[in-house]
Amino acid sequence: MTLILEAAVLGVLTGGVYALMASGLTLIFGVMRIINVGHGALVILGAYLSFVLWRNMGVDPFVSLIVTMPVMFILGVILQIVFVRPLKTDREALSVLVTYALALGIEGLLGYFFTSNYVQITAWYDTASFPVGDFHITYVYVYGFLLCLAILGAIFLMLYRTTFGAAIRATMLNRTAAQLVGIDVDRVSAVTFGIGMATAAAGGVVFGITNAFNPGSHYDLISRLLTIIVLGGLGSLRGAVIAALVMLVIQDITAVVISPVWAAFVFFVVLVAVLLFRPQGLFGITVRDRV
């Protein structure tokens, strides 16, 4: 029982990190109607950026975000302008291929510079822990959770309390209408892609401290993130956050109760179950999209 409780707590804490990574992905879908298959690779890229700062200059991984998040933001804006914006026809299908190609390119470059050996970022808080009742929680999970909570909070504030956030929401609702009322949707799209990349950088740091990773790690990550945003309803930020928390709790409990090797499998089981029995979605948001 303690084990299950511990798994649930851990699931919530890591779920926060997945929520942050998935929020970028679902925002990008909402604004541009594209599936960014390269999101996992960009998370790994963020992890490697922090890894380099930490290994070569001894920068604390959380502090390194001050550098990596703006860098990834700018990179995201550039990627959007160069690779996503030119797609005019058949956007949805072509964008999948373009972002897939970006993922392969990033994987290749990372492999060239860092080889395919696994690395991990370490710090004092990745082993130190504090007791909670019958079990111990490692500090890094709490710090990571708080970081992601703060960034998610900032994103929600930006979306619902600023004019630019209103422009993003308007573009998500109806691109053409947003254009008609004078919103520069191209600029909104580029900035949203940048925000998505910045969240990938933040998610990448926590991922890089809690997991050993190599350039190929993005495949595993992206299949989980994509499942999360489908379960939460494509384009729904709230749905993505809830789905991430729920899925990670289920995953971590499965790892304890059944076996860690089956943990990732529950993503697929839940996805299939939802499609079969609740096609209207887990949280009242429809999973079947009409395009």
Does residue number 101 form part of the binding site for other proteins (CB under 8 A)? yes
Q: How far is the CB of 182 from other proteins (least distance, A)?
A: 28
Among 4, 70, 108, 184, binds other proteins (CB under 8 A): 108
Smallest separation, CB 132 to other proteins (Å): 32
Using the minimum distance from each CB to other proteins, give the nearer residue, 28 or 201. Answer: 28
Q: How far is the CB of 267 from other proteins (least distance, A)?
A: 7
Cβ-based nearer residue to other proteins, 118 or 268: 268
Would you say 26 and 271 are in contact if contact means Cβ atoms under 8 Å apart?
A: no
CB-wise, 194 or 215, nearer to other proteins? 215
117 sits near other proteins (criterion: CB under 8 A):
no
250 scored as a contact of other proteins (CB under 8 A):
no
Select from 109-117, 174-182, 186-194, 203-211 the region that touches other proteins (CB under 8 A). 109-117
Task: Tell me which of 28, 35, 47, 240 binds other proteins, using CB under 8 A.
Answer: 35
Residues engaged in binding other proteins (CB under 8 A): 29, 33, 35, 37, 83, 86-87, 89-90, 92-94, 96-98, 100-102, 104-105, 107-112, 115-116, 215, 219-220, 222-223, 226-227, 229-230, 234, 261-262, 264-265, 267-268, 271-272, 275-276, 279, 287-291
